[in-house]
Structure 1
Amino acid sequence: MELPLVVGVDGSEPSLRAVDWATDEAALHGVPLRLVYASLWERYEGAALAEGLDRSPEQVMADNVVEAAAQRAHRRAPEVKVTTDVLPDDAVSVLLNEALTAAALVVGSRGRSGLAELLLGSVSLKVAGRAACPVIVLRGDQDNQARAGTHRRVVLGVGEGSHGTAAARFAFEEAEVRKAALDALRAWRCPAYESTDAPLLEGEPARLHEQRAAEILESALSEAAAEHPTVELRRRTAEGSVRRVLLDASDDADLLVVGVRRHHHGLAGLQLGRVAHTLLHHSACPVAVVPQRG
């Protein structure tokens, strides 16, 4: 059974953009599209009311939202198989449960309230930080960059200890299906305590850190590169903070891919680091957060 691409919808403009983007992706990958709406109306108003003759306003709204989203997806790509569901739970719980049987989750950057950065933290950040599958958060809504194939360029941020990462494989797969180039970036910085004013030693610490970055990059990419020999791979090391290097790279990319490691801390699940958190708030293109184990 093919795993679907799952989209959380709530009727907001960002969620409709997520439907558009995910529909294009489902068509590109040849996978089903699943649209889900989280609704607590049945839990709060009771099963008896749910079984009555009259439907609550919340149920009517939920049904209308998913139906409108499904029609939108069908108009955009009639060949994509679309299913919908209204599920009785909060948005984060619904999406985390859907992630267990999804190829990936797609979410907008905010919900109906329009508080862009605050609601990113309330739903999208929580889902991206804990989901069992890749989560793609759409960014760049003002200039409509959240469209597949605009630049034909996928960017992968290679972190520490990323040997054989799920993120690298995901990035190669996305670049291959898009027929896009893959820019793999590894940022490095020379610690201040290693700097020196001695002319004969000037530049030596920096050279060693740059060399180390190149070695990490090569090791992280070798396995996935061998599995996808047709992908145009461009390896690059850059001096500077990871956040700044990747944000700059997102300006003309179709997708920015980063990996995050799973930490077992009770119910907290997968936690985002500062880099992923910054990218989800400020990237100019959609960001794919890919969970890694180990």
Structure 2
Amino acid sequence: MNKRLLLTALASLSWLGTIPAAQAQVAFPSARPVTLVVPFAAGGGTDILARLVAEKLGEQLRQSVIVDNKPGANGLVAMRAVERAAADGHTLTFGSSSTHVLAPLMSEDKALMDQLRKKSTLVSMVAETPLVLAVSAHSEVGNLEQLLRMARQKSLTFGTFGTGSSPHVMGELLAARTNTKLVHVAYKGSAPAITDLRGGHIDSVFLTVAAVSAQVDNQEIRPLAVTGPRRVQTLPDTPTFKEAGVTGLEDSGWFALFAPAGTPAATLDALHTGVAKVMALPAIQTQLTELGLQHAPGSRAQAALAWERSIANTRKMLQQVTISTK
């Protein structure tokens, strides 16, 4: 009897082997929830945006999308977790230009960037996050030209939310391109930097638009210029750096969804379509504006090119400045 059972099982396996791969492949999404791994702690700006996307993406996929916060090592903890996951679309990273460009390029491990590109696939760009250079409303500085003129005569300080952060790099790049004396002051977050700016302890801040929007609305902070190729909707009177006469700061930070390399194209397309529908929702568009973010539409191919362009541009930026993360 056992022999007959064994022969039957072997025959079944042989028959399964004749099924085309496309038919044998499990449809996406399956009954298993999708996990969106966030490289930062809960409650921060990245986490807030990730949860907005997760909720609406779950509705589009008709499947639960669970946020899993895995902070640490400038995003490397989260990225490693997703790289080890099955390439089936059920485990994704909510990455950014910080975790997927700046941190690996600044790492002592020079192979890290290439490894990341081999092990990750960009699913969809989600949003762009411009940065803003601002001074206190009580400052005698009225525009970018005045600040740069003053910074050629004496050292001025600029605060950011951390050493090696995107604002830190942009501030150093601004100093290098304008031959000015700008001294970086690192804080453990945007709030203490703004507090010191308002108290007159530092001359300026380089932060995300979202971090300063409330203070700008209350006329406590004066924005001078924003990074990126176009003006920000919430700061319509604030010029871009290029408009203010400084080129080379046209890049914005961004957020995007990444999947493990080898994820089937059909699954990637389904995820990309779902994200595109989410980001087109009027409620999401309103929330993006309130967060100081801008939608980053485009195809999967355009998103992949944007990632490569961001890597190339950041390499050039880092070659022009000296950034110490010690």
- TM > 0.5: no
Give TM-score scaled by structure 1 length: 0.27
Bigger RCO of structures 1 and 2 (CA < 8 A, at least 6 apart): 2
The structure that has the greater radius of gyration is: 2
Give TM-score scaled by structure 2 length: 0.25
